[in-house]
Structure 1
Amino acid sequence: MSSSATMAPNASSKITPMNVTLLRRALLALIVGSLAACASRPAPEPTPAGPPIAEVAPLPGEPAALPAPLAQPRSHWVPVHWGALPGFSDDALYEAWNAWIKSCERPAPVFAPLCSEVRQLSIASPEEQRAWMVARLQPYRVEAPGGGGEGLLTGYFEPEYDAARVPGNGFSVPLYAPPADLGRRRPWYSRQEIDTLPQAQAALAGRAIAWLRDPIEAMVLHIQGSGRLNLLEPDGTRHLVRVAYAGTNDLPYRSIGRWLLDQGLVRDATWPGIRAWMAQNPQRVNELLWANPRYVFFREEPMDALDAAFGPRGAQGVPLTPGRSIAVDKASIPYGTPVWLASPGPLVPLSRLVLAQDTGSAIVGAVRADFFLGWGAQAGDTAGRLKQPLRLWALWPRQRN
C-alpha cells in the first residue's frame, strides 16, 4: 500500500468572482490551520494512504496531549487517542487478561511495574479494565519506518495427532530429539541425508521421541514447531504429551507446496491438495519431502490439565493463549507488549487485545503478525486459510508524573 497521500487536482487557470470567494475561504482555512499547527495540541495524523484521519477526542481519563512518536529498529510508532482503536469499547478484555498474566511471568522491564496491577484486575469488570488501560497505557499506531500502516495477518496452530512410543502397526515416521553433535556440526545433515545416510541415522539411533503414521503430519509438526501427541505407550495406555521445538539442522526452510506449484504438478497447494497429490504419486513422496531440507528436532513435555488449557511456550518463554497471542517481528514490537489488533477479514474479522509473545522465521516487518488459533483440526484448517489485511497499535506504559 502506497504511503503517499492522494494529491488534489490542479486549480483552473480561470478566476471568476465565485472562485475569488472560494480562494479567500481557502486562504482563511490555511491561516487557521497554520496557527493550529503551532499550538501544543498535535494536528490529526495522516493515514499511510488516502485522506487524513478525522480528529479523535480523548476518552475520559486520557490526557489531551499526545506524546512524541517512538522508533523501533523496524517500525515507527505514531501516538493516537484511544478512540482511534476500532472496537475498543466492545472487546471482551477478560479473555486477554490470562494472556497478559502469562506475559507477567517473564515481563519486559518496561512492563514489570504494571504486573501487580494487571494481576489485581484479573477479576475486575471490563469497564474497570478498560478505564485502567486508558489511564496507564498510550496507544501507538505501528507503521513501517518509511510509512505505511497496513500489513499482513496470518495464522498458526498447535497440531494434535495420534502417535506411538515404539514403531509398528503403521507408526513408522519418527520425531527425534536433537542429536548429541548438533551444536558441533553446523549445518547438520539435510532432510534427505537424515533419511538416507548411515552416519546420520547412526547419530539419531535411540533418539526417537515418538512415531507417527503420516509423513505429512510430521512435516506439519516441523513447520509449526510444536504439537500435541495422543501417545500410545507399550503397555497399551494413552496420555497427552507435548513435543516442543528443540532445534534445527540449520538449513533453510523450503515450502513443499511451493515446490509442487513451481513444478506445475498441482494448482491446489493446500494440505488437502498436497495429500491428494501424494496419494496419486506415492513413488515421488520422498522427492517432495526432501524439497524442504530443514529438519526440526523436539523435546517431550508432560501435560497436565492446566498445560492443556494453553498452547506451547512462545519466544517470550510463556505459554500461548488461543485467540490472544500473536507472533511478531521482535524488532518491530518487543515481546510482552500488549497490542491492539484490527483486521477486517474476510475469513476472521478481528478487533481485539492481544499479546506479542512469539515470533517466527516468516514473521518479518513492521505490521506483520501470526495469530495463534489454538490446537486441533479446526484450528489447523483456519490457520491454513488465514491471510488478510492487518493494522496494529502497540500499547506502551505512560510516563507518570
Structure 2
Amino acid sequence: MIQRIAAVILAGLALVGTQASAQGDDGEDIVYSILSFDDLEGWDQDDHSAALKVFLNTCSDFDDPDWRNLCAAAKDQNPASAKEFFELFFRPVMITIPDQEPLFTGYFEPELTGAPTRGGPYQYPIYKMPPEARRNQPWYSRRDILTSGVMDGRGLEIAWVDDPVELFFLQVQGSGRVRFPDGRTIRVGYGGANGHEYRSIGVELIRRGTYKSHQVSADVIKNWVRRNPADGTELLYHNPSYVFFREVSEVPADKGPLGAMNRSITTLRSIAVDKRYTPLGAPVWVEKDGESPMRRLMIAQDTGSAIKGAQRADIFMGTGDKAGKAAGKLKDPGRMVVFLPIQRAYAMLPDVSQ
C-alpha cells in the first residue's frame, strides 16, 4: 500500500508544470495546468486546519472512489498536519478558458422581514416549487409566474415578506432567513428554478447607460428600483429566471445555510462554482486581488445561476446586513486553483503520456 501511494506521488510530482488542453461540452477550449504548492501565493500562511474542517463537512458525499479514499484519510488526519495532508494527496490544477477573465464576487445569507400569512405590509410570497415546474423545463418566466395567477390558491406560500426587491435578491442569493413579528425566524433554501437563463439586472442598467460598471452594487440597484417603482418592476422582469424555496429551519441558527451539496456552508471558507469545471466538494485555492486581497483555501460547496466559467467563484461572506454590504462590494480579479487527487490530475492530462 505504501509503495503504491509513493508511486502515485512520484508520478504526480513529475506532472508539475505540465499543461494540456481539452474541449468542453460547449465546444470551448479548456486548459489544464498542474502547479506546485510553491506556486500558490500565501500557501504557507493559511489556516489549513480550518480548511480541512470545512472539507470534512461534505467529503462523505463523494461517489468517486478516489475522492472517497481521500475523505477516509482526512477523517483520520490530525488537524495540526492539515497542510501536509493537502500536499501529500492533492495536486493544484489551474483550469482556464482562453479569453475568459477570472472574476470573484460575494454572496451572503439575507434576513428578510415577513409573516407566516398574508396581511398588512406582508404582500409578497416566497413560493415552493410547483410539481409541474419540475416536469416541464423551462417553465413560466418570472413575469408570468407573478402576473398570470398560475400560483394562486395552491397553498405554495412558505411565508410573505414586505419588500419585493429584497425577495428578488433572496432569489439571487438562493437562501436566507425570514424574521416574523413575534421574533421567530425561519430559514429557506433553494428548492428549484423555472429553467430560464439568469439575466443580470445590474448589467442591464449599465447597458441602458443608467450607471457605469464601477458604480453598480446590490444597494445601488435596490435603491434605484425603489425610487422608480414602475420601471423598477419592469427591470426585475428583465431576469426571467425564478427561484423557488423550501423551508430548512432544521439547520441550527449557528450554522450556515445549505449549499448545493445540502450541507451548511461556512463564512469565508465556502465558494459557489461552475460545477462543469470544478467538482463540488473539491478544495480550491483562492487568490483574490482587489481592495482587500485574499489568499486562502476554500471548498467548492455551492453553485449559482450567475456563476459561469472555469475561473469564476462566489465567496460566501456570512449572514445579515454586514455580510451583505461586504458581498455587494466584492467584484475582483485573481485566480482560483482546484485541488485534485493526484490520479485525477493525471487523468485530466491525456497528452502527457504521449
TM-score range with shorter-chain normalisation?
A: 0.7 to 0.9
Who is 1:390 aligned against?
Answer: 334
Distance in 2 of aligned mates of 1:187 and 1:343:
35
**Superposition TM-score, scaled by structure 1 size:** 0.73
TM-superposed CA distance for 1:184, in Å, is 4.4
Contact 1:143/1:367 (8 A) holds in 2: yes
Distance in 2 of aligned mates of 1:255 and 1:178:
22
Distance in 1 of aligned mates of 2:63 and 2:269:
18
TM-superposed CA distance for 1:367, in Å, is 1.8
TM-superposed CA distance for 1:215, in Å, is 0.7
Which of 381-390 and 259-268 deviates more? 259-268
Distance in 2 of aligned mates of 1:285 and 1:80:
47
- The counterpart of 2:70, out of the listed 114, 128, 131, is 114
Distance in 2 of aligned mates of 1:399 and 1:264:
50
Q: Give the superposed CA RMSD.
A: 2.8
Distance in 2 of aligned mates of 1:117 and 1:136:
9
Identity over aligned residues, as a percent? 36
TM-superposed CA distance for 1:111, in Å, is 1.4
Letter in 1 for 2:95: V
Contact 2:174/2:190 (8 A) holds in 1: yes
Who is 2:160 aligned against?
Answer: 211
Distance in 1 of aligned mates of 2:340 and 2:219:
42
Who is 2:102 aligned against?
Answer: 151
Who is 2:293 aligned against?
Answer: 349
Contact 1:157/1:375 (8 A) holds in 2: yes
Who is 1:299 aligned against?
Answer: 246
- The counterpart of 1:281, out of the listed 228, 234, 239, is 228
Contact 1:105/1:318 (8 A) holds in 2: no
Who is 1:165 aligned against?
Answer: 116
Contact 2:32/2:94 (8 A) holds in 1: yes
Quick check: 1:88 aligned with 2:43? Answer: yes
- The counterpart of 1:103, out of the listed 45, 55, 58, is 58
Letter in 2 for 1:319: S
Give 3-state SS (helix, strand or coil) of 1:247's partner.
strand
Who is 1:313 aligned against?
Answer: 259
Q: How many residues align?
A: 326
Distance in 1 of aligned mates of 2:162 and 2:91:
50
TM-superposed CA distance for 1:89, in Å, is 0.8
- The counterpart of 1:332, out of the listed 277, 302, 305, is 277
Contact 2:176/2:188 (8 A) holds in 1: yes
Residues 1:158 and 1:66: Cα distance change in structure 2 (over 3 Å)? same
Quick check: 1:124 aligned with 2:79? Answer: yes
Letter in 2 for 1:310: G
Letter in 2 for 1:182: A
**Superposition TM-score, scaled by structure 2 size:** 0.81
Larger radius of gyration, structure 1 or 2? 1
TM-superposed CA distance for 1:69, in Å, is 4.7
The 5-angstrom pairing of residues 131-280 of structure 1 reads: 131-144=84-97, 146=98, 151-198=102-149, 200-202=150-152, 205-232=154-181, 236=182, 238-265=183-210, 268-280=215-227
Contact 2:117/2:160 (8 A) holds in 1: yes
Distance in 2 of aligned mates of 1:227 and 1:302:
10
User: Which structure has the highest helix share of the two?
Assistant: 2
Who is 2:31 aligned against?
Answer: 76
- The counterpart of 2:308, out of the listed 364, 374, 382, is 364
Which structure has more relative contact order (CA 8 Å, sep 6+)? It is: 2
Who is 1:49 aligned against?
Answer: none
Distance in 2 of aligned mates of 1:155 and 1:272:
14
- Structure 1: 5+ residue runs without aligned partners? 1-60
Residues 1:246 and 1:88: Cα distance change in structure 2 (over 3 Å)? same
Distance in 2 of aligned mates of 1:364 and 1:275:
24
TM-superposed CA distance for 1:153, in Å, is 1.4
